[in-house]
Amino acid sequence: MKKYYAILFGILFSITLVTAQSFEGVVYFKSTTGTGESGNFKYYGKDNKIKMEMMSDEMGSVIFDGSKTIILMPAQKSYMEFSNEMLEQFGGMSQDADEDMGEVNLPTKTNETKNILGYDCTKWVYKEDNNETELWITDQIGNYIIPSTPMTPAPEWADLFDGKPFFPLMIITKENGSVVDKMEVTKIEKKSLSESEFQPPAGFKKMDLGNMMGQ
């Protein structure tokens, strides 16, 4: 979880996506590290389509539409497209490691609640070794995706919310009692989104992934 912010935009190969209540609109996130470094990104959701966009001209976006993953690179005006079959090939690289993970450590629901941006949230706590992750979750918005790659798999607690409407409005990660990451929602816009929002912009060139895939 220490690199949670980076993981969101390091996704290239696979995701976990809950399929309950659908959210349509834009959610604004801010992430701050324990050293004070910060960054912002936007989460777009519509049906089974999702886009995560860095709020910086130098960084790109990631689009998921259920059948493929698209990585947009504005600086190069190009994009990469991965089909589900390609993702499965990459995902197989970590399958053996996943099978040896053993017992899953699940988060604990607490009785603590608070209102964030007008939404009622409940505090969940996930502990592992000397690390602790505090999640403030609401079921009043809809679905949230949890990124996962062969190199950085989704948190073990992800399955607990599979198929249920949940959205974390704040995630605080601590190591040995010190905060190392804080991710929080700063604004929520429920609105209709165009299908073009989840497609490569006009003029972007599709990269040939044949060499990358050994084809």
Q: Once rounded to an integer, what is the mean pLDDT over residues 53-70?
A: 80
Q: Residue 165 has what pLDDT?
A: 74
| Whole-structure pTM value | 0.75
Q: Once rounded to an integer, what is the mean pLDDT over residues 69-73?
A: 90
Q: Residue 122 has what pLDDT?
A: 95
Q: Once rounded to an integer, what is the mean pLDDT over residues 35-48?
A: 87
Domain 24-211 part of CATH 3.20.20.70: no
Do you know the residue count of the chain?
A: 215
Measure the CA–CA gap between 37 and 9, rounded to whole angstroms.
16
Query: 82-91 burial by CB neighbour count: b if 16+ within 10 A, else e?
Result: beeebbeebb
- 8 A C-beta contact, residue 9 and residue 62: yes
Q: Once rounded to an integer, what is the mean pLDDT over residues 44-59?
A: 81
- 8 A C-beta contact, residue 125 and residue 146: no
Q: For residue range 147-204, what is the model confidence (pLDDT) as tens digits?
A: 544 434 556 666 666 667 788 899 999 999 899 999 999 999 999 999 999 999 999 9
Measure the CA–CA gap between 85 and 45, rounded to whole angstroms.
23
Number of H helices, E strands in the chain: 3, 14
Q: Residue 1 has what pLDDT?
A: 40
